[in-house]
A and B are shown apart, each in its own frame.
Chain A
Amino acid sequence: AQSVTQLDSHVSVSEGTPVLLRCNYSSSYSPSLFWYVQHPNKGLQLLLKYTSAATLVKGINGFEAEFKKSETSFHLTKPSAHMSDAAEYFCVVPRERNAGNMLTFGGGTRLMVKP
């Protein structure tokens, strides 16, 4: 079964410094992978998705992620953090090819941005 592990429950950066949110996946085949962002008491918004095309995926708000099969990783990065990036981020993988297209969520990483 597909699963994802977010390696850090909390990450704190200063405004203007790089962001790295780590995600490792486990899958019996090359999966699709997603990153979602959730601002406090809000729903989830799709940041970017990998669907076996280019391994470097660019998303909204300057975020990007690189799919590395050899490392089974899909880390999310941004060159320069902004205060508005403070939120919770989820790495997500579809469960199985025909399992109702349900999603499996990582535990989330809360990003804090200091002024």
Chain B
Amino acid sequence: DGGITQSPKYLFRKEGQNVTLSCEQNLNHDAMYWYRQDPGQGLRLIYYSQIVNDFQKGDIAEGYSVSREKKESFPLTVTSAQKNPTAFYLCASRSSLNYGYTFGSGTRLTVV
């Protein structure tokens, strides 16, 4: 079955460390997105990519970085510059045919 896989499901990070969240899709979607979810705030866009080797900052890109070397993969790195990284992170991809979005199951990142 086609879908989006995010890993790991839970991630713990020490302050000052960078961590990378994985997002892989086998839907052949061109566009991919990273959202951050905090209680009561809905989802906020971190970065998005509409095509391989290209990506754009979203609303809250500071302290994050991404790459898009392959169509299937859009990893997100949470750097030590991100002041409040504890959150639930969701990856999504979008079909260029029907514009439908597919979401992954998320990664819960906790800074300890």
Taking a contact as CB atoms under 8 Å apart, the answer to whether B104 and A43 are in contact is yes
Q: How far is the CA of A101 from the CA of B50 in the complex (A)?
A: 9
Interface Cβ pair total, 8 Å cutoff: 50
Q: How far is the CA of A90 from the CA of B43 in the complex (A)?
A: 9
Known: A9-B40, A107-B40. Contact between A101 and B94, CB under 8 A?
yes
Instruction: Choose among A41, A43, A46, A101 the residue with the greatest number of B CB atoms under 10 Å from its CB.
Output: A43
Taking a contact as CB atoms under 8 Å apart, the answer to whether A108 and B42 are in contact is yes
Q: Is A44 an interface residue (CB 8 A)?
A: yes
User: In the complex, which residues of chain B have a beta carbon less than 8 angstroms from the beta carbon of A41?
Assistant: 9, 88, 105-106, 108
Interface residues as binary, A91-114 with B (CB distance below 8 Å gives 1, 0 otherwise): 000000000111101111000000
B-side interface mostly:
strand
Number of B interface residues, CB 8 Å? 28
CB distance from A86 to the nearest CB of B (A): 16
**Of the 9-residue stretches B14-22, B74-82, B95-103, which lies at the interface with chain A?**
B95-103
Q: Is B63 an interface residue (CB 8 A)?
A: no
**What residue of chain A has the Cβ atom nearest to residue B88's Cβ?**
A41
Interface residues as binary, B36-79 with A (CB distance below 8 Å gives 1, 0 otherwise): 00001111110010100000101000000000000000000000
Q: How far is the CA of A90 from the CA of B94 in the complex (A)?
A: 18
Ranked nearest first, the 7 interchain pairs of A and B with the lowest CB-CB distance are: A43-B103, A105-B42, A44-B103, A105-B43, A43-B105, A107-B42, A43-B104
In the complex, given contacts A41-B108, A103-B101, what are 20 additional A-B residue pairs having Cβ atoms less than 8 angstroms apart? A36-B103, A41-B9, A41-B106, A42-B106, A43-B6, A43-B90, A43-B103, A43-B104, A43-B105, A44-B101, A46-B100, A90-B42, A102-B33, A102-B58, A103-B43, A106-B42, A107-B40, A107-B41, A107-B42, A108-B42
